[in-house]
Amino acid sequence: MSLKIIGAGWGRTGTESLKKALEILDFGKCYHMLELLKDGKRVKYWEELIQNRNTDFEQLFDGFQSAVDFPAAAFYKEFMQEYPEAKVILTYRDPDKWYQSASKTILKDPPAFIIPIVKFLGIFNKNLSYLPRTYKNVIQDFLLKSVLQGRPHDRDFVISLYSKWVDEVKRSVPSEKLLVFEAKDGWEPLCHFLDVAVPPIPYPRGNDRGQFKKRNSLRNIISEFGGKK
């Protein structure tokens, strides 16, 4: 399935809210890191992208019309080549506020006991068996060690990388195909960019710090990401 919308914004910039918004706007299912965790067998396509900058895009995005958040954001250029008609949305957040949020969520190391327990549970649950592999190859080795150059806790360095990324996206994407978007802007700029009507409901909100902490508890990992066998 062809992507209509490519998200180029890093995690913790309102990507889950955007995922929900795009689905409300009838753009079909939106791929997000959560989808990788829920359907771990697709990790092989991300591993191929990391190694070769190419993969079977049709299989990777089967059933999806948009992709946001990590790891998709890291490959927005490859996706633009594969889907030249797609529009790009750069979710944005003030760099200092972004790091303050990211350092307490996506850049924070998980409790040491989580991965060993999930590995054990993976013996009995196929989807949970993919989680340690996804964490190591996609999150730890690629996002933290490659994208963030192994310095995820170096505040000034990571903020610099984040700001350079934002500037690079703005330079790389034709202006008519790019929307720089903050969740606080609400529906109007997003709907104008996508040429759709504004829904009569509040713009969605998702995955605040409290929700993130709850979602990453062992109990929730088992219930939310152990569903597919």
| Residue-wise pLDDT tens digits, 60-112 | 999 999 999 999 999 999 999 999 999 999 999 999 999 999 999 999 988 88
Buried b / exposed e across 67-93, counting CB within 10 Å, b at 16+? Answer: bbbbbbbbbbbbbbebbeebbbbbbbb
Q: Is the pLDDT of residue 59 over 80?
A: yes
Residue 86 lies in a domain: yes
The whole-number pLDDT of residue 221 equals 80
pTM (predicted TM-score):
0.92
Mean pLDDT in residue range 152-170: 98
Residue 132 lies in a domain: no
Residue 26 lies in a domain: yes
Cα angle 22-93-170, degrees, rounded to a multiple of 5: 80
Mean pLDDT of the chain: 93
Residue 79 lies in a domain: yes
CATH number at residue 62: 3.40.50.300
pLDDT digits (tens, 9 = 90+) for 113-125: 999 999 999 999 9
> Per DSSP, what are the bridge partners of residue 30?
66
Percent pLDDT > 90 in the chain is: 86
Q: Look at phi and psi of residue 111 and say left if phi exceeds 0, alpha if psi is from -120 to 50, else beta.
A: beta
Angstrom distances, CA of residue 152 to CA of 45, 105, 156, 193, 216: 25, 12, 10, 33, 19
The whole-number pLDDT of residue 229 equals 43
The whole-number pLDDT of residue 160 equals 98
Least confident interval from 5-9, 177-181, 214-218, 223-227 = 214-218
Domain that holds residue 62: 5-106+155-218
Residue 150 lies in a domain: no
pLDDT bracket for residue 133 (50, 70, 90): very high
Reported residue count of the chain is: 229
Total structural domains in the chain? 1
Mean pLDDT in residue range 130-147: 96
- According to DSSP, residue 177 is labeled G
The whole-number pLDDT of residue 215 equals 67
Q: Is the pLDDT of residue 201 over 80?
A: yes
Residue 223 lies in a domain: no
Going by C-alpha positions, the residue among 106, 45, 59, 86 that lies closest to residue 77 is 86
Residue 129 lies in a domain: no
